[in-house]
């Protein structure tokens, strides 16, 4: 007799079972109850708010938990224990004030946001009550997350052309404005803090810097995000002794290093790569005074952070490689030419509508990593990928040429597998140039990995993906990179006509902090249109100003130009600007 799945009542069951008050076996993609009743089975958390004043709640919690009178004081309340203890305290039946959302934000952070933040440690996540700056940063990131979570939707539906039909959320202005308010309060506290206070709270203040940077990434604009990351680097270099000597310093450093990794893909490809020296546009944690910090961050990474770091570095190197190839082919110069860096910088900035900065141009001109040097750097990442696989526990190991159904224990394991195979495809694609027929000479191994990547993506719960991958590389962005590296009619059909309708059904009204999802779909559709004309697109970048707000990028009716790199049927490289439909 086959083993029966144990059905249990929990808060993690699917929405239909929770709504009906029934037990759920939590099977994916559909539980047995939903399959039997032909219901749409989806997983996720439904959020609600109580009319509760945060200050009164904390006073009530403090009185129930008997905090000592000499503990650290936050907003007039003595709090020193973790958020977990406070969440277990009995909540007053009714409280009200103009701060009635504050407790809701705290609860949303504890129940949801803290689990999404990359490399966050339990000590940091639970210890924010000990630092007013981190307290406000927590409220900021929570309000920011809610502003784009299950929001109202704007849509553009074209009958008979689903590839050009798009959806995008309309930001909740109340949460958006509250996030800005808490951001300003966190910065005000930090700017007024005394040096001894900064030294004592260094790990918490670094965590606050990280959360505020993620807030900019998700809710404001890329320029503010870049400046926030640079501020975090400056803070680390100024307070590295206090951070490294602290019990919670290692956790804060891992959060910070993961933030630095998230920042790298947006760096102009002509500038110096991370680890290759000091750059005008930071952060480059290596070399010189921060070298020990860099090594500590690298050595302390867990397997999830390591595969993400490898992926981001691999994509950063690939972007530089394909842009240099397109510029070299268009300008009829060698990829190894000493002029390639400055030419790439000037051409890309002109097409993107950005001004050339003299210091950046000098850095691009003096950069020595190009051509075969970039291929050698990809080999380094290939060796790191082997190290990552060696660190996987046996129940998380997988082979790309074996069936993937029911193999992954968690959503993160499945996403890590996508990251791994995208890296492997990139390594082979980077060494293969366009053939005389204008097509890429892919091995059967690469075609197999692309097929299995689509299989894994199809098995994901997109409701979970759209709420779990907010601050990391989402499945939509993985599919975009796959479309750049591995082009075929079958692949575009599977991504745009099979996977994307499922993604929109499960994720409509949600948004990530990287590329707006509607832009990703439009770019992939444009890459497919180029392919139908016999032109291969290897890289594309929206031509938008660095300070353009996320609210404007989410607008599906806003015209956007696209800078496109690739090659024609005859193998001739091109770089051009086109309007994104």
pLDDT digits (tens, 9 = 90+) for 439-481: 444 557 777 788 889 888 888 888 777 778 888 888 999 999 9
Residue 250's H or E segment, with its range, is helix 249-263
pLDDT tens string 190-232: 999 898 989 988 999 999 999 999 999 989 998 899 899 989 9
Decide if pLDDT at 576 tops 70: yes
In the chain, where the domains are located: 100-264, 267-393, 408-580
Is residue 560 within 8 A of residue 518, CB to CB? The reply is no
Q: Looking at 376-390, 428-442, 550-564, which range is the least confident one?
A: 428-442
Residues forming a β-bridge with 566: 537, 574
pLDDT tens string 485-509: 988 888 999 999 999 988 888 776 6
Q: Is the dihedral of CA 564, 565, 567, 572 positive or negative?
A: positive
Is 91 or 56 the better-scoring residue by pLDDT? 56
Decide if pLDDT at 402 tops 60: no
Decide if pLDDT at 56 tops 70: no
Q: Which residues contact 38 (CB under 8 A, 6 or more apart)?
A: none
Mapping DSSP to helix (H, G, I), strand (E, B) and coil, where does residue 156 land? strand
β pairing state of 77-78 and 152-156: unpaired
pLDDT tens string 277-335: 667 676 554 444 456 777 788 888 889 999 999 999 999 999 999 999 999 999 998 88
Residues making up the chain, counted from first to last: 581
Q: Is the dihedral of CA 563, 510, 209, 316 positive or negative?
A: negative
Decide if pLDDT at 11 tops 80: no
**Which of 221, 214, 132, 219 shows the shortest CA–CA distance to 178?**
219
Write down the pLDDT at residue 434. Answer: 60
Distance separating alpha carbons of residues 135 and 294, to the nearest angstrom: 27
Question: What values do phi and psi take at 143, rounded to 5?
Answer: -65, -40
How many other β-carbons are positioned within 10 Å of the β-carbon of residue 355?
7
Mapping DSSP to helix (H, G, I), strand (E, B) and coil, where does residue 152 land? strand
Mean pLDDT score across all residues of the chain: 80
Decide if pLDDT at 431 tops 60: yes
DSSP string, 179-215: HHHHHHHHHHHHHH--HHHHHHTHHHHHHHHHHHHHH
Decide if pLDDT at 91 tops 50: no
Write down the pLDDT at residue 3. Answer: 47
Write down the pLDDT at residue 120. Answer: 81
DSSP-derived letter for residue 9 is -
Q: What percent of the chain has pLDDT over 70?
A: 79
pLDDT tens string 141-183: 999 999 988 678 888 888 778 888 888 888 999 999 999 999 9
Write down the pLDDT at residue 251. Answer: 87
Q: Looking at 24-33, 362-371, 401-410, 451-460, which range is the least confident one?
A: 401-410
Write down the pLDDT at residue 276. Answer: 66
Is 395 or 391 the better-scoring residue by pLDDT? 391
Mapping DSSP to helix (H, G, I), strand (E, B) and coil, where does residue 541 land? strand
pLDDT tens string 239-266: 988 988 888 888 888 999 899 888 877 7
Decide if pLDDT at 75 tops 60: no
How many other β-carbons are positioned within 10 Å of the β-carbon of residue 470?
25
Residues forming a β-bridge with 536: 567
Write down the pLDDT at residue 531. Answer: 94
Cis geometry, peptide bond prior to residue 394 (ω within 30 degrees of 0): no
């Amino acid at each position: 007799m086959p083993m029966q799945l144990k059905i249990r009542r929990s808060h993690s069951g699917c929405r239909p079972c929770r709504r009906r008050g029934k037990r759920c076996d939590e099977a994916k993609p559909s539980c047995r109850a939903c399959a039997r009743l032909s219901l749409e089975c989806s997983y996720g958390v439904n959020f609600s708010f109580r009319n509760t004043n945060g200050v009164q709640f904390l006073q009530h919690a403090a009185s129930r938990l008997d905090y000592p009178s000499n503990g650290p004081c936050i907003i007039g309340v003595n709090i020193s224990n973790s958020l977990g203890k406070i969440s277990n305290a009995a909540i007053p039946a009714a409280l009200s004030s103009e701060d009635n959302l504050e407790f809701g934000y705290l609860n949303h952070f504890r129940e949801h946001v803290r689990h999404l933040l990359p490399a966050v440690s339990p000590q940091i996540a639970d210890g924010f009550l000990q630092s007013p700056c981190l307290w406000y940063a927590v409220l900021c990131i929570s309000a920011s997350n809610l502003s784009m979570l299950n929001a109202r939707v704007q849509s553009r539906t074209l009958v008979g052309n689903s590839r050009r039909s798009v959806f995008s959320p309309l930001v909740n202005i109340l949460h958006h404005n509250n996030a800005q308010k808490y951001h300003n309060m966190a910065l005000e506290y930090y700017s007024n803090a005394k040096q001894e206070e900064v030294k004592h709270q260094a790990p918490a203040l670094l965590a606050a810097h990280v959360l505020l940077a993620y807030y900019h990434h998700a809710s404001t604009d890329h320029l503010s995000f870049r400046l926030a990351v640079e501020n975090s680097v400056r803070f680390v270099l100024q307070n590295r002794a206090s951070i490294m000597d602290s019990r919670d310093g290692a956790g804060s450093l891992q959060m910070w290093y993961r933030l630095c990794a998230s920042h790298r893909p947006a760096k102009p490809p002509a500038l110096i790569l991370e680890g290759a020296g000091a750059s005008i546009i930071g952060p480059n944690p290596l070399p010189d005074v921060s070298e020990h910090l860099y090594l500590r961050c690298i050595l302390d990474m867990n397997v999830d952070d390591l595969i993400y770091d490898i992926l981001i570095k691999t994509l950063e190197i690939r972007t530089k490689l394909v842009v240099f190839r397109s510029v070299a082919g268009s300008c009829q110069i060698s990829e190894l030419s000493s002029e390639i860096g400055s030419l790439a910088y000037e051409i890309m900035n002109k097409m993107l509508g950005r001004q050339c900065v003299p210091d950046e141009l000098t850095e691009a001109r003096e950069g020595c990593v190009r051509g075969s040097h970039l291929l050698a750097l990809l080999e380094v990442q290939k060796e790191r990928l082997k190290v990552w696989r060696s660190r996987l526990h046996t129940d998380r190991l997988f082979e790309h040429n074996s069936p993937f159904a029911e193999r992954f224990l968690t959503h993160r394991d499945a996403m890590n597998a996508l990251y791994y195979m995208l890296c492997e495809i990139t390594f082979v694609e980077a060494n293969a140039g366009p053939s005389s027929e204008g097509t890429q000479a892919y091995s059967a191994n690469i075609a197999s990995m692309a097929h299995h990547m689509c299989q894994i993506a199809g098995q994901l719960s997109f409701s979970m993906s759209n709420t779990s991958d907010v601050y990391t590389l989402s499945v939509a962005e993985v599919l975009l990179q796959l479309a750049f590296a591995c082009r075929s009619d079958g692949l575009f059909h599977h991504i745009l006509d099979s996977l994307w309708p499922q993604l929109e059904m499960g994720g409509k009204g949600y948004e990530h902090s990287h590329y707006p999802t509607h832009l990703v779909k439009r770019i992939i559709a444009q890459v497919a249109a180029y392919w139908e004309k016999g032109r291969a697109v290897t890289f594309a970048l929206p031509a938008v100003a660095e300070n353009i707000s996320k609210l404007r990028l989410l607008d599906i009716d806003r015209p956007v130009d696209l800078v496109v790199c690739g090659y024609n049927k005859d193998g001739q490289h091109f770089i051009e600007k086109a309007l994104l439909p």
